Amino acid sequence: MSPRALVAAAAERLRLAGVASPEHDAAELLAHVLGTTRGRLPLLEDVAPPARATYDALVERRAAREPLQHLTGVAWFRHVELAVGPGVFVPRPETELLAGWAIDRAREAGERPVVVDLCTGSGAIAKAVADEVPDAVVHAVELDEAAYPWAVRNLTGTGVDLRQGDLATAFDDLLGTVDVVVSNPPYVPLEAWESVAVEARDHDPHLALFSGDDGLDAIRTLAVRASDLLRPGGVVGVEHADVQGESAPAVFAAQGSWEEVRDHRDLSDRPRFVTARRTLRGSRSGE
């Protein structure tokens, strides 16, 4: 049976199951089974029965809404490859914009910029910064005991200082010295449970998804901790839900340590992340 016919049949199966990107996922799964890339599938004439059986089993799991990345074991994020699977949040393409912002700000900070990634999860943002700003001193922290080993796996050999701990208390040794703080924290309101995509709701760790009744609990903590970590004039960038385009910036505006608070939209023109600059004077601690 040809790859084209296999992918077409699988894509229809995934479409009926409600998968958002059926053609892409069907092709990606077949490429994974055959050890090739989607672009090279048309060069193949036939798929042997054992490979077809393996493919059919993976398509069945994807139709049950198991994340594609869990089935392949890999997620791409900007220019880096990440190992992912059960227990760790699968990085989304939208977060690449936040990572790009952090990379640009690190480059502007001069030699040996200090960057902290709070709630690193798989290590996606930290690894991207280390990859694209080789002279940066990158630190990352993750609380979840299930996610932390994935971050260890992805950040080993990158030079990133990875620690396990709470974003609210992490990096006491860096207070007042950081140039860029970046985070993709949990931000889904508990009341929005039913609206979360099946792949995320049933397979991503809830510690990485939900953050209080309004989804802003972690962001409130971040606004305080980032103000302590950053040097005066340092910057913070935090992802949020598309319905938090006003409420997330309001957290930073009300905290008292921030100026230049502004929100940024993603490629679909939806509110996606907030950035702010640490004031040159004043802080939570009253410095």
**DSSP letters for 144-172:** -TTTHHHHHHHHTTTT-EEEES-TTT--G
Instruction: Confirm whether 185 is a catalytic residue.
Output: yes
Pick the CATH number of 77-278 from 3.40.50.150, 3.30.950.10, 3.40.640.10, 3.90.550.10: 3.40.50.150
Proportion of the chain in helix, strand, coil states, percent, rounded to 5: 45, 20, 35
Residue 92, φ and ψ in degrees, nearest 5: -100, 155
What's the maximum distance between 2 C-alpha atoms anywhere in the chain?
70
Instruction: Confirm whether 171 is a catalytic residue.
Output: no
Determine the Cα–Cα distance for residues 238 and 220; give it in Å rounded to an integer: 11
Instruction: Confirm whether 273 is a catalytic residue.
Output: no
**210: β partners:** 188
From the candidates 185, 186, 189, 249, which is the catalytic residue?
Answer: 185
Instruction: Report CA 38 to chain centroid distance, whole Å.
Output: 24
> pLDDT by residue (tens digit) across 153-198?
999 999 999 999 999 999 999 999 999 999 999 877 666 545 556 6
Determine the Cα–Cα distance for residues 124 and 103; give it in Å rounded to an integer: 13
From the candidates 184, 205, 210, 252, which is the catalytic residue?
Answer: 184
Tens of each residue's pLDDT in the chain, 287 residues = 889 999 999 999 999 999 989 999 999 999 999 999 999 999 898 999 999 999 999 999 999 999 999 999 999 999 999 999 998 989 989 999 999 999 999 999 999 999 999 999 999 999 999 999 999 999 999 999 999 999 999 999 999 999 999 999 999 999 999 999 999 998 776 665 455 566 666 566 655 555 567 889 899 999 999 999 999 999 999 999 888 999 999 999 998 899 999 999 998 999 999 999 999 865 444 44
The model's pTM is 0.88
Provide the percentage of residues in the chain whose pLDDT is more than 90. Answer: 77
From the candidates 3, 77, 89, 252, which is the catalytic residue?
Answer: 89
Q: Helix crossing, 95-108 with 124-132: angle to 10°?
A: 40
